[in-house]
C-alpha cells in the first residue's frame, strides 16, 4: 500500500513538469529568415566625359571634372539596399604623354587630385585623393585606345592608382563624383587648378557592394 502511495505522489509531482516540458517542445521559437547575403555588382555609370577604354586592361576610364553641380558629375546608380552600401573605384591622376619630353627627361610631374562624392542634393559623403609622380612610360597605368598616336592610342593617359572606398547610406540611390581641385608640381613651377569644367582625375573599376533590400509584396486588390 505504501509503495502505491509513493508512486501516486511521484506521478502527481512529475505531472506539471512533464506537461510544461511537452508544451515548451510544442512551442518552438519561430525561425528568423536568414539575413540576405551581400552582392557586388558593376553599377550603371553615366560618364559625361569619357576618357576611353584601356588597351591592356579593357577597363573603362572616365574623366572627373571640377563642378559644384552634382547633376554634371559622374553619376553612379546604387541598387536598393538594406543598411549601408559600399562604393569602390580606382582613382587615377592623368597626364598628356610626350615621348619627346620623356627622352629629354623633362616629363616630370607630381599631381595631387581631389574628388568629392556627393548625393544629388549636394550632401558630401566623402572625398578621394590620389597622388602620383610621372617620369616615363613605366608610370602609365594603361594606354587608351581611339587616339591618333602610335598604335592608335590617345596622348592622355591615366597615371597612379588609389583605391577609394565610400560608405553609402541606406536611403541613397544615386551619387555623383565631381572634381574639387588639382595640384601640380612640374619642373617649371607649382600650380593649383580649381576652375570649373577642368578634368582633374579619372576613375575606373567602379563597384557597389550591398545587401539587397527586401521586395515588398503588393496587396491584392
Per-residue pLDDT band for 9 (boundaries 50, 70, 90) equals very low
> Would you state the pLDDT for residue 28?
66
pLDDT tens, position by position, 179-203: 999 999 999 999 999 999 999 999 9
| Residue scoring higher pLDDT (8 or 109) | 109
pLDDT tens, position by position, 79-108: 999 999 999 999 999 999 999 999 999 999
Ordered by start, the domain boundaries in the chain are 39-210
> Would you state the pLDDT for residue 175?
98
Backbone angles phi, psi at 25, to 5 degrees: -65, -35
| Residue scoring higher pLDDT (4 or 145) | 145
Integer Cα distance of 115 and 1 in angstroms: 93
Stated pTM of the model = 0.81
Per-residue pLDDT band for 151 (boundaries 50, 70, 90) equals confident
Amino acid at each position: 500500500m505504501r509503495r502505491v502511495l509513493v508512486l501516486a505522489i511521484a506521478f502527481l509531482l512529475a505531472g506539471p513538469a512533464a506537461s510544461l516540458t511537452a508544451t515548451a517542445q510544442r512551442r518552438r521559437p519561430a525561425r528568423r529568415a536568414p539575413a540576405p547575403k551581400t552582392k557586388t555588382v558593376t553599377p550603371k555609370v553615366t560618364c559625361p566625359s569619357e576618357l576611353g577604354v584601356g588597351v591592356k586592361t579593357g577597363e573603362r576610364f572616365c574623366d572627373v571634372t571640377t563642378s559644384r553641380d552634382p547633376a554634371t558629375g559622374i553619376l553612379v546608380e546604387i541598387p536598393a539596399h538594406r543598411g549601408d552600401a559600399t562604393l569602390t573605384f580606382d582613382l587615377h591622376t592623368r597626364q598628356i604623354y610626350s615621348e619627346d619630353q620623356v627622352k629629354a627627361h623633362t616629363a616630370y610631374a607630381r599631381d595631387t587630385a581631389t574628388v568629392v562624392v556627393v548625393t544629388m542634393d549636394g550632401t558630401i559623403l566623402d572625398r578621394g585623393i590620389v597622388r602620383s609622380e610621372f617620369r616615363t612610360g613605366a608610370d602609365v597605368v594603361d594606354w587608351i585606345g581611339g587616339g591618333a598616336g602610335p598604335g592608335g592610342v590617345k596622348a592622355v593617359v591615366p597615371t597612379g592608382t588609389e583605391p577609394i572606398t565610400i560608405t553609402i547610406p541606406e536611403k541613397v540611390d544615386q551619387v555623383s563624383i565631381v572634381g574639387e581641385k588639382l595640384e601640380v608640381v612640374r619642373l617649371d613651377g607649382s600650380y593649383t587648378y580649381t576652375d570649373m569644367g577642368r578634368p582633374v582625375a579619372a576613375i575606373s573599376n567602379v563597384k557597389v557592394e550591398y545587401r539587397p533590400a527586401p521586395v515588398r509584396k503588393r496587396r491584392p486588390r
